[in-house]
Amino acid sequence: MVLDKMSYTMDLSILIPARNEMFLAKTVEDILSNIEGNTEIIVVMDGYWANPTIKDDPRVTIIHNTTARGQRAAQNQAARLSQAKYLMKVDAHCAFDKGFDVKMMNDMQDNWTMIPTMRNLHAFDWVCKNGHRRYQGPSGNCEKCGKPTTMDVVWIAKTNPQSTAYYFDKDLHFQYHKEQKEKQVGDIVETMSAQGSCFMCTREKYFELNICDETWGSWGNQGTEVACKTWLSGGRLVVNRKTWYAHMFRTQGGDFSFPYSNPGKDVEHARECSRKLFMNDKWDKAIRPLSWLIERFNPPTWENVKFNQPTVGVIYFTDNCLEEPLMSTVQKYIKKGCNGHRLVSTSLKPINFGENIVLPLERSVLTMFKQILAALEAVKTDIVFFCEHDVIYHPSHFKFVPLRKDIYYYNDNKWRVDYKSGQALFYHCAQVSGLCASRELLLEHYRGQVAKIEKEGFKHRGYEPGMRSKRYEMWNSEFPNLDIRHDKNLTSSRWSQDKFRNKNTCLGWKMSDEVPGWGKTKGRMEEFMKELL
């Protein structure tokens, strides 16, 4: 039965899959008393009816399954009913901070998965008629006087511990990450993994990433699945320390144990699905290998695990026409991002930057292609990043790892900035300056291009490999690159949509005085460049 009370689009849908949960009604009551935004709750009673019952409220939608489908299926059932921008899955035994929903949505970004600080929930005590109290656990007579006990619901969010950092070990078991917590600074902090009892993402990402795969069984290992799918797809898993939720951990015994049969078997099946998919880099939506995530957080138990990591190289090409301080600034940031990767530069005059190759030719498209080819032949690494001499690369750009050898990958997170005025502009498009791909794939392309141009001349059909054959994918670095537009660019700058014959080539058009992660640029380019240098 579905009680359909959702007649308008919400900002947030809170999803609660539940089976044999004695604190479901209390959890819903707690959420209703603490939400402050345009937020609803969708509860799935999976093969049972809540006792006590959930009070009627227009913000609550209830789905009842006559036969239990499993936690994952129930969670997805609720998600499919939602029409909200954000989804938040929570367990049916949690308490929440006042305004937690608004606090999280205010800081949320579309490629993030966010969780609040996790506290422990002191839900109840066992109390005898003599007033003796025993902290929540299995039922039974009073340990002090032997008298029968009854449950007294206290519902206290304990302020210690407050958990904000988690990881999974090499067997993909959930663990608390003490070392990472000690490094965390600020209100929004990164965590390698999650506990799984509460997380928020966009509804679009939830379904795009299949964040709760039902083929993994009834339940279990959701924190690892959510973490890997978020990080490896190019997103970030973050903890918002401005707010919290309190989770009640299951005790041994029949009073508050696992709601589905064979929980250990279910969890191990889900964990084995995680191992096969992520340990072997088999997930088709990943743009990063698991080794990238391990290197980023350096969790315990992974020290002796070996990964077959591709070697990474960077090629830089310049016509030596760029003025200072732009050239030095670009080179500074490339060195910063390279972080030990092999760097090969090609120029028309000698420069002191990486392993320099000089081609004493005249500036032209053919010359640029020859420079690229010479650098590719010299770099000798598995994958290669392209760097142009007038693009300021954020270090996060070089953290990307392509998984397929037959695809050209373009970083779509870049802003054009006018060198004189500081006017910033963003729109979606692939550019050679953001290209990363297999060296062998790139060599094949540029050898063919150089031979073709030498024979037929250059016919402008786009500079970007893979576009015509549709063998390319877009990705986004954590922070954008700055494509500096000046009076010596090889390609012209277009600052108006009217300059584009095909408006599909400038989707997402946005003019701004500042660039995310870099700050204000308009009207202060001289000062801005000094700050960077």
pLDDT of residue 309: 75
Our measurement of the distance from residue 485's CA atom to the centroid of its chain's CA atoms, rounded to an integer in Å, reads: 30
Q: How far apart are CA 68 and CA 46, in angstroms?
A: 5
Task: Check for a shared fold between 12-297 and 312-532.
Answer: yes
pLDDT of residue 339: 81
Q: No. of H helices and E strands in the chain?
A: 12, 27
Q: What are phi and psi for residue 39, nearest 5 degrees?
A: -125, 140
β-strand 112-128 against 236-247: which pairing, if any? parallel
pLDDT of residue 257: 65
Report the SS3 class of residue 487. coil
Q: Which residues, including other chains, have CB under 8 Å from residue 533's CB and lie 6 or more apart?
A: 325, 328, 329, 332
Among 216, 224, 419, 386, which Cα is nearest to 316's?
386
Q: How far apart are CA 237 and CA 229, in angstroms?
A: 10
Q: Which residues, including other chains, have CB under 8 Å from residue 31's CB and lie 6 or more apart?
A: 14, 41, 90, 96
For the record, the structure tokens of 502 come out as 């095909």
Q: Which residues, including other chains, have CB under 8 Å from residue 480's CB and lie 6 or more apart?
A: 394, 413, 414, 415, 426, 515, 516, 517, 518
Q: How far apart are CA 314 and CA 385, in angstroms?
A: 5
Q: How far apart are CA 426 and CA 417, in angstroms?
A: 9
Q: What residues does 119 pair with on adjacent strands?
A: 246
Q: How far apart are CA 191 and CA 245, in angstroms?
A: 16
For the record, the structure tokens of 476 come out as 């986004």
**What's the DSSP call for residue 382?**
S
- pTM value? 0.70
Q: How many residues does the chain have?
A: 533
Contact 28, 54 (CB under 8 A): yes
The pLDDT tens digits for 452-472 are 999 888 776 667 898 888 889
Q: How far apart are CA 23 and CA 385, in angstroms?
A: 53
pLDDT of residue 461: 64
Among 61, 48, 59, which Cα is nearest to 22's?
48
β-strand 188-190 against 236-247: which pairing, if any? antiparallel
Q: How far apart are CA 493 and CA 499, in angstroms?
A: 10
Extents of the domains making up the chain: 12-297, 312-532
CATH class of 312-532: alpha beta
pLDDT of residue 57: 96
Q: How far apart are CA 249 and CA 264, in angstroms?
A: 16
Q: Which residues, including other chains, have CB under 8 Å from residue 405's CB and lie 6 or more apart?
A: 438, 440, 441
Amino acid at the residue 385: F
**What's the DSSP call for residue 163?**
B
Q: How far apart are CA 214 and CA 313, in angstroms?
A: 39
Contact 271, 174 (CB under 8 A): no
pLDDT of residue 264: 64
Q: How far apart are CA 315 and CA 323, in angstroms?
A: 20
CB atoms within 10 A of CB 461: 8
Q: How far apart are CA 405 and CA 243, in angstroms?
A: 43
Among 17, 28, 21, 24, which Cα is nearest to 74's?
17
Contact 199, 114 (CB under 8 A): yes
Report the SS3 class of residue 395. helix
What are the Cα distances from residue 264, in Å, to 218, 219, 221, 269?
11, 10, 11, 9
Q: How far apart are CA 32 and CA 39, in angstroms?
A: 9
Q: What residues does 44 pair with on adjacent strands?
A: 17, 63
pLDDT of residue 151: 92
pLDDT of residue 258: 67
Q: Where do we find the tokens 């402050």?
A: 36
> If you average pLDDT over every residue of the chain, what do you get?
90
User: Residues of the chain whose pLDDT is less than 70?
Assistant: 1-8, 251-258, 260-264, 460-462, 490
Q: What is the 3-state secondary structure (H, E, C) of 210-259?
A: CCCCHHHCCCCCHHHHHHHHHHHCCCEEEEEEEEEEEECCCCCCCCCCCC
Q: At the fourth CATH level, which superfamily is domain 12-297?
A: Spore Coat Polysaccharide Biosynthesis Protein SpsA; Chain A (3.90.550.10)
Angle at 87 between CA 82 and CA 90, to 5 degrees: 110
For the record, the structure tokens of 336 come out as 């910063």
Q: How far apart are CA 14 and CA 199, in angstroms?
A: 10
